[in-house]
Amino acid sequence: MTIPVAIIGAGAIAHEHLLAWRAIPGVDVRWVIDRHPERAASLAALAGAAWSVDPGVALADPAIRAVDICTSPDSHAALTIAAARGGKAIHLEKPAALSLADLDAMLASVRAAGVPFMVGQTARFQPVHLELADAIRRGEIGRPRALHVTWQAGHVWPNGWRAWQLDADRCGGHVVHNGVHAIDLAVWLLNARPVRVFARGFATFAPEMPTPDSFHLTVRFDDGSLALLEFAYALRGRGDAYRRIVAIGEDGSLSHSTEGEAGLVSDAARLPSAATAGAFDRQLAHFAAVVRGEAEPIVPPWQVRAALAGALAARRSAETGRAVAIAEAEA
């Protein structure tokens, strides 16, 4: 059964998604939508798809079965609700929304429409995390109680000072739009809800940048377990990357670091770690299986909500310098 797909948003992530969609048998990308016509046309040409600046065109196309929302986060709520009303299956880039009120409205409309819905928490689909989650499920370390995640990269967002990632009104700021990756990972692996978050951000290269390029956060969960999540876009070399994760359980620990991996050394290019590569392929193949009714989404709504609540609390903490209880973020 073919799944006709519309990609909404034609930025950097949409490009990655298109490459992944094209590798999945039975998926046909038919529309690319972007408010910038040249971007929409360019990605559509790559896909062999039609393009438009109006998402309504794709949502009104009865042939379209699923939409892949890759726009900046400030547009997620309206697009998700419109897609649900149009009866489309929805794959949504993270962060799902910029407020819990928006997310609740989105989840309600998805529930009412009965459409498949999944937030693209890509980190879950990276091989190291899939295998780490399996090891926890197999009971290798007993009950997991603490998680320490360190992600460092020499990364800058596309479009210089025009990047929406620098604009908290459009994306929640760095602590939200990337923090939600690591918080979601912790929610999933510890299978618990955040109850208190403390976040500390710092700007490495441009002291007056409007959102910190780097941050770390501590999370206390409702079952007493703890996480320390560190995210630094502070490495000097563009394309440099370092990752480490340690899960500590009642009977042992699991650990991984990219340091142990022999890699390409070249001035021209870097290769992604084999421990993290191929995540979009797995993520969208999983979503295709969800659309076909062959799988339940690995990212259930309660975890989407828990991760977003944690990320919004982290933003407030980074801005105020105070630890924030999730109950406060709910208010």
Residue 237 burial by CB count (10 A; 0-12/13-18/19+): exposed, middle or buried? exposed
Nearer to another protein, 123 or 149 (CB): 149
Run of H or E residues at 199: strand 194-202
Footprint (CB under 8 A) of another protein, residues 116-145: 142, 145
Provide, rounded to whole angstroms, the least separation between the CB of residue 275 and another protein: 15
Could you tell me the CA-to-CA distances from 34 to 31, 172, 275, 314 in Å, in that order?
10, 21, 32, 30
Provide, rounded to whole angstroms, the least separation between the CB of residue 117 and another protein: 32
Run of H or E residues at 196: strand 194-202
Nearer to another protein, 133 or 248 (CB): 248
Nearer to another protein, 74 or 140 (CB): 140
Nearer to another protein, 85 or 200 (CB): 200
Footprint (CB under 8 A) of another protein, residues 271-330: 321-323
Provide, rounded to whole angstroms, the least separation between the CB of residue 130 and another protein: 19
State yes or no: residue 50 binds another protein (CB under 8 A).
no
Provide, rounded to whole angstroms, the least separation between the CB of residue 313 and another protein: 13
Q: Cβ neighbours of residue 29 under 8 Å, at least 6 residues apart? A: 5, 6, 7, 18, 21, 22, 47, 48, 49
Footprint (CB under 8 A) of another protein, residues 167-206: 196, 198, 200, 202, 204
> Across the beta sheet with 50-52, what order do the strands follow?
50-52, 27-33, 3-8, 66-69, 89-93, 117-120
State yes or no: residue 238 binds another protein (CB under 8 A).
no
State yes or no: residue 156 binds another protein (CB under 8 A).
no
How far is the first Cα of the chain from the last one, in angstroms, to the nearest whole number?
45
Residue 61 burial by CB count (10 A; 0-12/13-18/19+): exposed, middle or buried? middle
CB 110 within 8 A of CB 90: yes
Provide, rounded to whole angstroms, the least separation between the CB of residue 17 and another protein: 31
Nearer to another protein, 25 or 321 (CB): 321
Residue 279 burial by CB count (10 A; 0-12/13-18/19+): exposed, middle or buried? buried
Sole window of 68-76, 115-123, 235-243, 286-294 interacting with another protein (rule: CB under 8 A): 235-243
Looking at the DSSP bridge assignments, the partners of residue 8 are: 33, 69
Nearer to another protein, 245 or 285 (CB): 245
Footprint (CB under 8 A) of another protein, residues 245-274: 246, 248-255, 259
How many chain residues are in contact with another protein, going by CB under 8 A? 43
Provide, rounded to whole angstroms, the least separation between the CB of residue 222 and another protein: 13
Enumerate the H helices of the chain as residue ranges: 12-22, 37-47, 55-59, 76-85, 100-113, 127-137, 168-171, 174-177, 179-190, 279-291, 301-320, 326-330
Nearer to another protein, 42 or 218 (CB): 218
Nearer to another protein, 10 or 217 (CB): 217
Q: Given the rule CB under 8 A, which residues bind another protein?
A: 142, 145-146, 148, 150, 152, 196, 198, 200, 202, 204, 214, 216-220, 224-228, 230, 232, 234-236, 240, 242, 244, 246, 248-255, 259, 321-323
